[in-house]
């Protein structure tokens, strides 16, 4: 005869449900925590990567925007300004997500 975990909930109070079910529940509880840790770790590495790329691109844009009248000036200043604003907003969101 196999046991049924759902039947445990119907046992009377004070009959040792917690102690009797603990050996069955422990492996489930430890497994339950792992995916969240893996997801958090993967998400964190993705955020760090995105932030570093964004900061590098931001530096390039700022350098190019400061060279308006040089022969190496960027072609479309408005597009560069829009990209700059979008990158700033994205980096702010990344910083906010770390503080959650």
pLDDT tens digits, 45-80: 888 999 999 999 999 989 888 876 665 555 678 888
Q: What's the whole-model pTM score?
A: 0.53
Q: In whole angstroms, how far apart are CA 70 and each of 46, 59, 61, 65? A: 36, 17, 14, 10
pLDDT digits (tens, 9 = 90+) for 2-17: 666 666 667 777 777 7
Give yes or no for residue 42 having a pLDDT over 70: yes
Nearest to 40 by CA among 48, 29, 28, 51: 48
Please list, in sequence order, all residues whose beta carbon lies within 8 angstroms of the beta carbon of residue 24, skipping any fewer than 6 positions away: 3, 5
**Spans of all domains in the chain:** 16-98
Give yes or no for residue 31 having a pLDDT over 80: no
Distance, CA of 44 to CA of 52 (rounded, Å):
12
Distance, CA of 31 to CA of 42 (rounded, Å):
17
């Amino acid at each position: 005869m196999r046991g049924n975990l759902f039947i445990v909930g119907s046992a009377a109070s004070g009959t040792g449900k917690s102690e009797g079910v603990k050996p069955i529940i422990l492996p489930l509880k430890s497994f339950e925590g792992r995916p969240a840790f893996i997801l958090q770790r993967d998400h964190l590495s993705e955020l760090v990567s995105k932030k570093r790329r964004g900061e590098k691109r931001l530096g390039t844009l700022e350098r190019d925007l400061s060279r308006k009248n040089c022969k190496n000036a960027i072609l479309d200043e408005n597009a560069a300004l829009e990209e700059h604003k979008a990158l700033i907003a994205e980096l702010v969101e990344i910083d906010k997500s770390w503080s959650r």
